[in-house]
């Protein structure tokens, strides 16, 4: 029996070239999370540089583990690249503002442990997280982060002399225009690297306007290793732990969809055991993120697209990408250079990336039957409730701090509401009543019988 293409190592030249391409494709999306988080919680450039190095280290380790595998313990052994997820960004900002950074990384560490414990059970109950749930959550993730990008563009202090200055708006606009032009008109690698090229163009413009300060670059060393518990001994507030544990389940659903997609692209069947080992990788990212001040990782969708478009299915290629990310993490001077990027540049990139996340959520929702009034009601209610904290940020100010952390994030709120409503109307005795009432399309009078199509995993553990 011939070896599957996923398990074949290409010649070293092609392996290195395609591995570097994967790194370039995911790099901007990966570093945007620490840039946005650091700016949102008021960290200085040296701490943000540390976050970037830690972020790349965790992403590299998890990507290598997922691609190469480690016995029967961890690794889906598919060509996937992992990086920091936007799903945890808003909850992390809220936790930092309420309890401090020690609570952020303490709760992330425990969330990772919870993920390790849930990996096998989750792989067997994926039917409770259909496109209806994941699509609603992804849509709110994108929409809720638009405000964060806007804050980076105009500034966080309305009394500052450069707040909402035309210069800031110009730089952000150039970044968006360059990214949009390359995404729509570029071909091949030009299109795939559109956001990275836009970031470089925006930085060049910002430098010409005197907005790019590299003063911290001189003090950064060329070689270094992220030290554990950089921000101090971790704290574990119950509300923060609950919030990050919910984030982990959202990441599980997101990664599962991507792993199933890669399975279909490569033609390699994915068993529940494979899926469980892949989810263990997500859990490990939470544990490592909590220790090294990194971030929870998920499978990057843009790299899934790269696997499909390049037709390079070898997991050794993405394993090489993981090793490259680890090397980059050990060069603090690179992290310092990235941390110095002006806010309007990062905000402009964020607008494109967060808008893309929103569209991925909408595309996911189109996989369900939108003629089914129950599906529409669940999605509409989940998204509507999830966006309330973004539009009315003070609505929970009279509730206890614990409830503000758990329900103050539109992302976790959407996940709770969508999961609960889907469970009630699709997996309880009420399901029979819902299924007994077919929906009539008023414009065509075609009777549509609601049918749930949960994600399926081939094989068994």
Domain extents in the chain: 9-152+213-342+356-441
Q: Is the pLDDT of residue 452 over 50?
A: no
Contact 322, 83 (CB under 8 A): no
Q: Is the pLDDT of residue 449 over 50?
A: no
- Tokens representing 62 are 């998890």
Contact 447, 438 (CB under 8 A): yes
Residue 210 to residue 299: CA distance in whole angstroms: 37
Residue 429 to residue 76: CA distance in whole angstroms: 35
Q: Say what percent of the chain tops pLDDT 70.
A: 85
Residue 403 to residue 106: CA distance in whole angstroms: 18
Closest alpha carbon to 4 in 318, 308, 313: 313
Q: Is the pLDDT of residue 456 over 50?
A: no
pLDDT at 196: 74
| Environment class of 412 (CB within 10 Å of its CB; exposed 0-12, middle 13-18, buried 19+) | buried
- Report residue 347's pLDDT band, with 50, 70 and 90 as the boundaries: confident
Q: Is the pLDDT of residue 48 over 80?
A: yes
Closest alpha carbon to 230 in 293, 295, 289: 293
Characterize the bridge pairing of strands 82-84 and 439-440.
unpaired
Contact 389, 408 (CB under 8 A): yes
Contact 368, 375 (CB under 8 A): yes
pLDDT at 444: 40
Residue 356 to residue 341: CA distance in whole angstroms: 21
Output DSSP code: residue 297.
E
Give tens-digit pLDDT for 358-395.
887 888 888 888 888 899 999 999 999 988 888 887 88
């Amino acid at each position: 029996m011939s070896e599957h293409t996923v398990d074949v190592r290409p010649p070293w030249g092609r392996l290195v070239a395609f591995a570097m391409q994967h790194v370039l494709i995911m790099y901007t999306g990966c570093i945007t999370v620490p840039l946005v988080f650091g700016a949102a919680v008021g960290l200085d450039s040296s701490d943000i540089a540390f976050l970037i190095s830690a972020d790349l280290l965790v992403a590299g380790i998890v990507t290598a583990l997922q691609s190469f595998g480690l016995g029967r313990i961890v690794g889906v052994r598919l060509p996937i690249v992992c990086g920091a997820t936007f799903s945890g960004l808003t909850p992390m900002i809220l936790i930092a503002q309420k309890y401090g950074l020690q609570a952020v990384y303490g709760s992330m560490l425990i969330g990772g442990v919870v993920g390790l414990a849930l990996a096998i059970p989750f792989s067997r109950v994926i039917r409770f997280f259909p496109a209806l749930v994941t699509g609603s959550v992804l849509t709110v993730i994108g929409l809720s982060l638009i405000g964060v990008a806007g804050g980076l563009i105009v500034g966080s202090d309305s009394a500052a002399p450069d707040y909402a200055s035309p210069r800031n708006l110009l730089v952000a606009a150039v970044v968006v225009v360059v990214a949009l032009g390359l995404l729509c008109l570029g071909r091949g690698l030009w299109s795939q690297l559109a956001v990275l090229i836009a970031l470089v163009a925006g930085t060049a413009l910002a430098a010409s306007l005197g907005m790019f300060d590299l003063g911290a670059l001189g003090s950064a060393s060329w070689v270094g290793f992220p030290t554990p518990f950089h921000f101090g001994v971790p704290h574990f507030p119950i509300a923060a732990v609950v919030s990050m544990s919910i984030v982990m389940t959202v990441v599980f659903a997101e990664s599962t969809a991507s792993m199933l997609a890669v399975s279909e692209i490569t033609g390699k069947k994915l068993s529940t055991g494979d899926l469980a080992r892949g989810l263990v990788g997500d859990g490990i990212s939470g544990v490592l993120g909590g220790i090294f001040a990194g971030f929870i990782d998920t499978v990057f969708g843009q790299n899934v697209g790269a696997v499909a478009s390049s037709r390079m299915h070898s997991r050794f290629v993405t394993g090489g990408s993981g090793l490259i990310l680890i090397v980059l993490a050990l060069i603090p001077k690179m992290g310092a250079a990235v941390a110095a990027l002006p806010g309007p540049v990062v905000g402009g990139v964020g607008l494109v990336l967060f808008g893309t996340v929103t569209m991925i959520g909408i595309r996911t929702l189109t996989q369900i039957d939108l003629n089914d009034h129950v599906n529409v009601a669940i999605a509409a209610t989940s998204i509507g409730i999830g966006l309330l904290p973004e539009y009315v940020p003070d609505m929970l100010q009279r509730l206890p701090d614990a409830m503000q952390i758990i329900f103050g994030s539109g992302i976790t709120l959407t996940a709770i509401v969508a999961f609960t409503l889907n469970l009630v109307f699709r997996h309880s005795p009420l399901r029979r009543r819902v299924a007994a009432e077919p929906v009539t399309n008023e414009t065509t009078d075609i009777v549509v019988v609601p049918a749930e199509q949960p994600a399926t995993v081939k094989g068994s553990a």
